[in-house]
Each structure stands twice: as structure tokens, then as C-alpha cells.
Structure 1
Amino acid sequence: MVSLNITAPGGGGGRFSIPNPQKLSSPNSTVSISILFTRSKNEVFLTAPHGKCSKNVPFIVKSQYLTPQEQRQQQQRFSSFESPSPSQPAGQLPPRVYVGYTIYKGKAALAVEPRPPEFSPLDSGAFKLSKEGFILLQFAPAAGVRQYDWSRKQLFSLSVTEIGNIISLGTRDSCEFFHDPYKGRSEEGKVRKLLKVEPLPDGSGHFFNLSVQNKLINVDENIYIPITKAEFAVLVSSLNFILPYLLGWHTFANSTRPEDGSRLNNANSTVDYEWNR
């Protein structure tokens, strides 16, 4: 937080601070505490009552960084001036952000995007992980030079265990995953997806090869894309970073309080911890 120390030129007048001065920086407008900012960078007028009129007194503005303790004191003192941002009402979650990593090659493009986990509310008011997050792979065939037909893209979702398989691949290692989206339902066997990750012959990276047979819409597609060693390193690093978030562990870490440890441990006092044996 930055505060404004306002003093009259020549040493006269009083001195006070205003938290978050950026909220008051609208040029040529009078704010709630009757301070008028001009277009000049460091010039400000304090509008003070003078009979039936108002008198503009020039002041000089200097910025000062506050310590955390001073910030808390200022926030308490000026809490009446704090209001939620119009773009984000109080209690509303921050806007969702979409990220991804896309690799473009001559015959195809591969987009890699994370999908968050899902939680279910409990009667106690707490939340429990109901569905792990995953990584969505989108394969799009080339439609020309540096052009890709995303309307024909094929999707493949990597579970956290499958992500672990890819992360652990060595230069000469390979793995493959088979998915049937309709397994256990009447359409079982009508859609088959096979993803193979194999090393390039010269050891310079890996092939990602996706085969899709969809009898429901009469599609038989095979899309492959070579991934260089550098691109694969970026992919593995990204997967390593996002994996705990897909498991929802960040929500546990963010919700843990110092007093929770002893309370939960006492509740599970019958557990025989290995290091206590």
C-alpha cells in the first residue's frame, strides 16, 4: 500500500495520510473527502469550507511506502472508504483464467490444457474432492501451411496416473493409453482411442500418435506429431507443476490453519504413526 502525506507548501497546514490514493486520482473531480486532484502530477487542492463558498488550498503530494503494521492500521482507520471493485462484487470468486501449451508442426498441432478438480460439499460445511482434474490433449490436423483445422480436432484426457507415466519417460522409453469413453454403457466399444508416446529414432524427442475410431459418426482418424526434446522438457515441467493442483492439494494447503493440526491429530489419536513405533 502507498499512502499520501499531504502538507501545505512552505511548511504550513496539517498532515494526514490517505490509503490507496489511486482510488482518488480522477483528474478534476471532487472525491468523498473533498480533495481535488488536478492534471498536474504532484499538485492537489484541498477544498475547505469558507463561509458560503469553498476555498481551494494548494498542497504538495508525496508518496510513502508503509510497513505491514501501518497498512493494517490505515485499513482499519479508513475502512469506511473501502468498497468492492465494481468488476468483482464482494464474495465472488476471481475471474477464471485459461492457460495452455500448444506445439505446432507441419502435419498437426497439439494443444495441452489443464482442467481443474471438482469438489462436493459436506454436511459439516467442508468440501471433499469428488473428481480429480486432468490434462486435455487436443490434436488438430494441418489444413495448409501454418493452418490447422480445429473443427476436426480429436480429444484425449490424461488422468493423474497417466500424467505420471509421461513424466517418468526416459529418452528411449514409450507408453500407450487406451480409452473407451462409453465403457460400461450401451455404446461400449463404438469409440476407441489409443494414444502412443514413442521415442524418435534418433533420440531427439518423442512421437505423440493418437488413433481414434468412432463408429457413431463414422470417423477413423490418425494424427501424429513429433515433439522435440526441448518441447518435451517444457511439457514435463508443466505437468510436474500442475499435478498437485489436479489432486486438489492446493485447496487443502490454503485452508489449513495452525490450530487444525492438533485438533485433527487428537481426533485420530488411535492412528499408530510409523515414526512413533
Structure 2
Amino acid sequence: MMLQLQCLSSQTLNPKLCPFHSLSNSKGNGFGSISVTESTSIKKKKLYVKCRQSEYYEQKSFSASPSNSSYAPTDVAVGTLPTRVYVGHSIYKGKAALTVEPRGPEFVSLDSGAVKLSREGFVMLQFAPAAGVRQYDWSRKQVFSLSVTEIGSLVALGARESCEFFHDPFKGKSEEGKVRKVLKVEPLPDGSGHFFNLSVQNKLINLDESIYIPVTRAEYTVLVSAFNV
């Protein structure tokens, strides 16, 4: 009762002294009624909403990174590497098709638990001659594997530059020199791209074949992106 009188008397002098009370005139008397309960209720609502919002974000954060061991990422065993997927690219033209397939490096496990590089990564180029309109004879395909250094040469190749690679699959063996593969990459006359020309001489099966395909600058850029994996 004293609180009501004090606040009412303050309201008469200066209404700002009771900023959180709502005053309303009753029909039966000239005094205002203070709804302290209502303002307290509003405060509780705000605190309650605030609390629920905090719990929501905490729960969301917990769900994103659960501490339960059943959801924890599986530890990679010593000597193994996570699987990585390499995406290739194919180019189809009127006289030939070219497929580029990146291959990742290979590793072997040592007794110490470490891993050792057993084979470097490479990019396999497959050339197939055309057998008709939008048809290619993949049974006659010729393959050329680019080493890491050769990939670097192609990546750094300028629009007006050319390069040439020579491979002998039987180098260091008794049949050395019987199979000869030469890949030439030369600029197109108008500077809009490069010619990829693969020549294969195989004396073992009496084969002498050359497959070439023009590659535009945009297509070459896509090939380089495949080289960079």
C-alpha cells in the first residue's frame, strides 16, 4: 500500500519516476492502479525467450560437432592416406577424341610406420581416331603418359610456344627402340589454341600411326586445371 501511495504521489509530480509501471484510471475512484504483476510477467517472458534462444544455438553448435565417440571421424591408420578422387576431361573433335585422366601417386608402408613414395603421379592421355560422325574407335586408341616434369612443361607453355616429348616404353629392356612415341604440342596458326599430335611407331606389330586433335585455348585451360590436381 505504501508503494502504491509513493508511486502515485510521484506520478502526480513527475510521471518519469515510475517508468516500468503502467498506470490506468479506474472507473470507481480517481486513483490509478499499478499493474506490477504485468510488468514482472513481461520481464520473465523476455528472460524466458532469451534463455530458449541461447539453448537453441548451443544445441545447434553441439549437433555440428558432437562429442560422442560414435560420431567422431575415424582415425586414418598409420601408413595409409585418405582416398582422393581425380576427375578427368574429354575433348571430341571431327577427326579424333582426347581423354585426360590424372593418376595419383602411390605409396608403400615402412616397418617404422612411415610411408614412402613408390610411384609419382602422372596424367594419361588417350587418343582415339574418329570412326564416323561423333563416333570414335577406342579399340585403336594410343596412350601417352605425362610425367610430373612434362606436366610442368605443358602448364608453363605459352600461346605461341611448342614442346615435344619422346617416350620408349621398353627403354632399358631387350626390346628398346622397337616402340617409339612422340607427342608434339604446337600452336594453331591463328593463335587460338594448340595442336596435340601423337605419333606412334611400333615395329612389333608393324604399326605407324599419327593422331592429332586441335585444342582451343579454353579447352587447354581446362586441361591445365586437370594437370594441377
Matches within 5 A, 1:100-249: 100-239=88-227, 241-242=228-229
- For 1:236 and 1:71, locate their aligned partners in 2 and report how far apart those are by CA, in whole Å: 37
- For 2:222 and 2:109, locate their aligned partners in 1 and report how far apart those are by CA, in whole Å: 36
**What SS does structure 2 have at the residue aligned with 1:136?**
strand
Could you say which residue in structure 1 is the equivalent of 2:30? none
Task: Go from structure 1 to structure 2 and tell me whether the alpha carbon gap of 1:67 and 1:142 turns closer, same or farther (over 3 Å shift).
Answer: same
Aligned length: 171
- For 2:182 and 2:121, locate their aligned partners in 1 and report how far apart those are by CA, in whole Å: 20
Amino acid at match of 2:60: L
CA shift for structure 1 position 93: 8.5
Deviation by residue 1:107-162 (Cα, 9 ceiling, x = unmatched): 00000001111112222111011210100000000000000000100000000000
Per the normalisation by structure 1, the TM-score is 0.56
The higher-RCO structure (CA 8 Å, 6+ apart) is 2
Could you say which residue in structure 2 is the equivalent of 1:71? 65
**What SS does structure 1 have at the residue aligned with 2:127?**
strand
- For 1:70 and 1:170, locate their aligned partners in 2 and report how far apart those are by CA, in whole Å: 47
Amino acid at match of 1:127: V
- For 1:175 and 1:146, locate their aligned partners in 2 and report how far apart those are by CA, in whole Å: 29
Larger radius of gyration: 2
- For 2:206 and 2:118, locate their aligned partners in 1 and report how far apart those are by CA, in whole Å: 34
Task: Go from structure 1 to structure 2 and tell me whether the alpha carbon gap of 1:139 and 1:125 turns closer, same or farther (over 3 Å shift).
Answer: same
Q: How big is the alpha-carbon RMSD for the aligned residues of Structure 1 and Structure 2? A: 2.9
Query: After the TM superposition, which parts of structure 1 deviate over 3 Å for at least 4 consecutive aligned residues?
Result: 68-71, 90-98
Deviation by residue 1:220-264 (Cα, 9 ceiling, x = unmatched): 11000000011011112221x31xxxxxxxxxxxxxxxxxxxxxx
- For 1:119 and 1:185, locate their aligned partners in 2 and report how far apart those are by CA, in whole Å: 25
Deviation by residue 1:44-80 (Cα, 9 ceiling, x = unmatched): xxxxxxxxxxxxxxxxxxxx9621587323x24xx4x
- For 1:163 and 1:237, locate their aligned partners in 2 and report how far apart those are by CA, in whole Å: 11
- For 1:65 and 1:140, locate their aligned partners in 2 and report how far apart those are by CA, in whole Å: 57
- For 1:218 and 1:188, locate their aligned partners in 2 and report how far apart those are by CA, in whole Å: 15
Amino acid at match of 1:204: S
Task: Go from structure 1 to structure 2 and tell me whether the alpha carbon gap of 1:200 and 1:123 turns closer, same or farther (over 3 Å shift).
Answer: same
CA shift for structure 1 position 100: 1.1
What fraction of aligned residue pairs are identical, expressed as a percent?
Answer: 72
CA shift for structure 1 position 99: 2.6
Task: Go from structure 1 to structure 2 and tell me whether the alpha carbon gap of 1:174 and 1:122 turns closer, same or farther (over 3 Å shift).
Answer: same
**What SS does structure 2 have at the residue aligned with 1:66?**
helix
- For 1:130 and 1:185, locate their aligned partners in 2 and report how far apart those are by CA, in whole Å: 21
Per the normalisation by structure 2, the TM-score is 0.67
In structure 2, stretches of 5+ residues that fail to align are 1-57
Task: Go from structure 1 to structure 2 and tell me whether the alpha carbon gap of 1:117 and 1:191 turns closer, same or farther (over 3 Å shift).
Answer: same
Amino acid at match of 2:61: T
Amino acid at match of 2:127: F
In structure 1, stretches of 5+ residues that fail to align are 1-63, 83-89, 243-277
